[in-house]
Amino acid sequence: MKKSVSVIIPCRNEESHIGNCLDTIISQEYPKELLEVIVVDGMSDDRTREILKIYMHSYPYIKLLDNLRKIVPSALNVGIKYSKSEVIVIMGAHTEYARDYISKCIEVLEQTGADNVGGAARTKAKGYIQNAVSIAFKTSFGVGGAKSHYEENEGYVDTVTYGCYHRKVFDKIGLFDEELVRNQDDEFNLRLTRSGGKIWQSPKIKSWYYPRASIIALFKQYMQYGYWKVRVIQKHKIPAAIRHIVPGTFVGLITILIVFSPFSQLSLKILGGLLTFYLAASVAASFLSCKGPTKWKYIPVMPIIYFAYHFGYGYGFLRGVLDFAILKKQANETFTKLTRTENVEKK
């Protein structure tokens, strides 16, 4: 007997993407009588809510709820509390889904006995910068070997893109942490695995995410990830993976060397050596990631893309260390406001 499913979509100001997202959900093979789609909107001030109401009129299983706090974890918790199904599937408004996405989630969930299942973070792109960001998104140099970025990976992992959960998981370990403006899914999955739960990634589960389309937006996005990752580490006393602390350590070392370089020839030489090594590694990674006749044109911008990934995350991580660990603040207001002014969609 098939299980009832609640799809929860957090969004804010997604007029450019919410229609495509809902179209791919409406076309799902899964029986609609077992499906409810809960869009939790962070009080959008564009046409998002107008578009949602048009869909709701035609498809009564689509619901619209308000997210007054305008951040992802609040949206997820509002949707989970409202939902009535046996299975919770988290989806993103920036993403399109294969017609069998929900069916495959349920199939893998039952076959593996896992508590949470999902697919790889596949990407779609529409312009030059977005295509370059997509290429970097799939490289070890860009994302530190995160398994969720590799499309053919299958097996147990520490987190997956979005996630399909048994409802009992939330009854057991609680909801998403609303203090975490970013990284709430990583923290939740860390709690899940440390409580004995299992997370499985399957290439059968397919979706396509639209990454940031500008270098500045990418830098800000990863700056926020780095910032809030510190709070996750502080909460659990240990990082989930070593890759989470490498960018912050590197940027911190570069900063220290810059400060001491005017007074120390040794610091200046080490700084020059590190920057030369990083630039060489970045250029090499750019050539390797852009093999093939259709990708060569992205080589000139790839080092800048990698810089945005690494130094955005690293700078955010150091600010998080300063605010959370040294100054003992709850959160930096600038970072919180910055996140809330962007779409609540995370990836």
More confident of the two residues 268 and 1: 268
pTM, 2 dp:
0.81
pLDDT score for 336:
56
- Which tens digit of pLDDT belongs to each residue from 168-206? 999 999 999 998 888 888 889 989 998 999 999 999 999
- Integer-rounded Cα Rg, in Å, for the chain is 21
Count CB atoms within 10 A of the CB of residue 222. Answer: 24
Has residue 283 got a pLDDT over 90? yes
**What phi, psi does 315 have (nearest 5°)?**
-65, -45
- Identify the CA nearest to 229 among candidates 216, 247, 213, 214: 247
The two tokens of residue 331 are 């959160």
pLDDT score for 306:
96
pLDDT score for 347:
42
- Identify the CA nearest to 240 among candidates 193, 202, 201, 182: 193
- State the average pLDDT over residues 335-347: 48
- State the average pLDDT over residues 64-82: 94
Count CB atoms within 10 A of the CB of residue 65. Answer: 14
Handedness of CA 235, 237, 241, 246 (dihedral sign): positive
Has residue 242 got a pLDDT over 80? no
CA separation for the pair 257, 311 (Å, rounded): 15
Has residue 99 got a pLDDT over 70? yes
Helices 265-289 & 246-260 angle (0-180, nearest 10): 140
Strand (E) or helix (H) holding 57: helix 48-58
Has residue 341 got a pLDDT over 50? no
| Contact in structure between 46 and 12 (CB atoms under 8 Å) | no
CA separation for the pair 106, 83 (Å, rounded): 17
- Which tens digit of pLDDT belongs to each residue from 245-263? 889 999 999 999 999 999 9
pLDDT score for 243:
80
Count CB atoms within 10 A of the CB of residue 258. Answer: 13
Kindly report which listed range (74-88, 141-155, 254-268, 277-291) carries the lowest average pLDDT score.
141-155
- Identify the CA nearest to 347 among candidates 153, 105, 138, 34: 138
197: helix, strand or coil: coil
Q: Which residues pair with 201 in a beta bridge?
A: 118, 155
Amino acid found at 317: F
Q: Where does CATH 3.90.550.10 sit in the chain? A: 5-137+146-211
pLDDT score for 343:
45
CA separation for the pair 284, 6 (Å, rounded): 45
Residues of the chain with pLDDT > 90, as a percent, come to 67
Counted residue by residue, the chain has a size of 347
pLDDT score for 120:
86
- State the average pLDDT over residues 16-21: 90
- Which tens digit of pLDDT belongs to each residue from 126-177? 899 999 999 998 888 987 766 666 777 899 988 888 899 999 999 999 999 9
Q: How confident is the model at residue 125 (pLDDT cuts 50, 70, 90)?
A: confident
CA separation for the pair 162, 55 (Å, rounded): 23
- State the average pLDDT over residues 295-304: 95
Has residue 18 got a pLDDT over 90? yes
Query: Secondary structure of 98-142 in the HEC alphabet?
Result: CCCHHHHHHHHHHHHCCCEEECCCEECCCCHHHHHHHHHHCCHHH
The two tokens of residue 188 are 């939740």
- State the average pLDDT over residues 1-18: 92
pLDDT score for 256:
96
Kindly report which listed range (75-79, 310-314, 331-335, 343-347) carries the lowest average pLDDT score.
343-347
| Contact in structure between 85 and 3 (CB atoms under 8 Å) | yes
DSSP state, residue 2: P
Q: Are strands 163-166 and 116-118 parallel, antiparallel or unpaired?
A: antiparallel
| Contact in structure between 345 and 217 (CB atoms under 8 Å) | no
What is the CATH class of 5-137+146-211?
alpha beta
pLDDT score for 344:
43
Count CB atoms within 10 A of the CB of residue 197. Answer: 17
Kindly report which listed range (74-78, 150-154, 159-163, 207-211) carries the lowest average pLDDT score.
150-154
- Which tens digit of pLDDT belongs to each residue from 220-240? 999 998 998 888 888 877 766
